[in-house]
A and B are shown apart, each in its own frame.
Chain A
Amino acid sequence: MSEPLKFTYSVDGDNFTSAGQASVQVKKVLRRLGLDPETIRRVSIAMYEGEINMVIHAGGGEAEVLIHEDCVEIILRDKGPGIADIEQAMQEGFSTAPDNIRSLGFGAGMGLPNMKRYTDDMQIESQVGVGTTITMRVNL
């Protein structure tokens, strides 16, 4: 087994305007590697929603993308407030985002459900007051 290709990005939590830049970079990298367009789309949408979440809720964080032989793995780590009730957070339409975020086109309670929808596996580890780590896999 060869080592997976690994890319890491820092997600700036202070600036909503720049949220999503890491996902744009990842999309470019995956294109260069010649992955099929549907896989690229799924990875970039899931990561984009995750990045937006980190900016809205957690003051930013770290994104890591690993390209394995059989899947693309996306790991998003933040030191935000954590998710108290993951089941509730996974429901479409449930949101704790502030109103100003809705006026920017997000915060409709679709982020986590979209991330699950576009990936083959998603695990959420979260501790209130400590932070959240989300690991997603898209099979190749």
Chain B
Amino acid sequence: MKISEIRDLLGAAVLCGDEMDRDILSACGSDMMSDVLAYVKNQAVLLTGLVNPQVIRTAVMMDMICIIFVRSKQPSAQMIEFAEENGLTVLTTPLRMYEACGKLYAAGLKGNGEVNE
């Protein structure tokens, strides 16, 4: 699924990144970064309600390509700058975690466990 499709499905605003054509292979929704670090594979998107610099670092460590903040959460300018330096696309959606994940799943974006099996 392309980042542009995700943006449209979630009614999300783009905070940084201009590679809307990039393909996302899987998704993970979590506020626990250690769980993200345990399970996520390449070319994934992270949906989270947690807002701190560790979210960006976690995504960078995992080679993820997109972060979506739910419930209209706004990362700091510093976080956005760090994401940009590392080539990450950052979106924010007014939807809650469950709704955002549900919309992407229903549109065919699989969870990480399913993609790896």
Contacts and interface: CB of A to CB of B under 8 A. Distances in A.
B38 A48 contact: no
A49 B37 CA distance: 9
Contacts of B55: 105
Interface string A12-44: 000011111001100100000000010001001
A45 interface: yes
Range, interface on chain B: 10 to 19
Given A45-B62, A106-B33, A110-B38, A24 B57 contact: yes
For the complex, would chain B's binding face be called helix, strand, loop or mixed by DSSP majority? helix
B63 A41 contact: yes
B76 to A, nearest CB: 10
B116 interface: no
Range, interface on chain A: 20 to 34
Interface in B35-78: 35, 37-38, 50, 52-55, 57-58, 60-63
A52 to B, nearest CB: 8
Counting chain A CB atoms within 10 Å of each CB, which of B33, B35, B62 scores highest?
A: B33
A109 B34 CA distance: 8
A1 interface: no
B107 interface: no
B60 A105 contact: no
Interface of A: 16-20, 23-24, 27, 37, 41, 44-45, 48-49, 52, 104-111, 113-114, 117
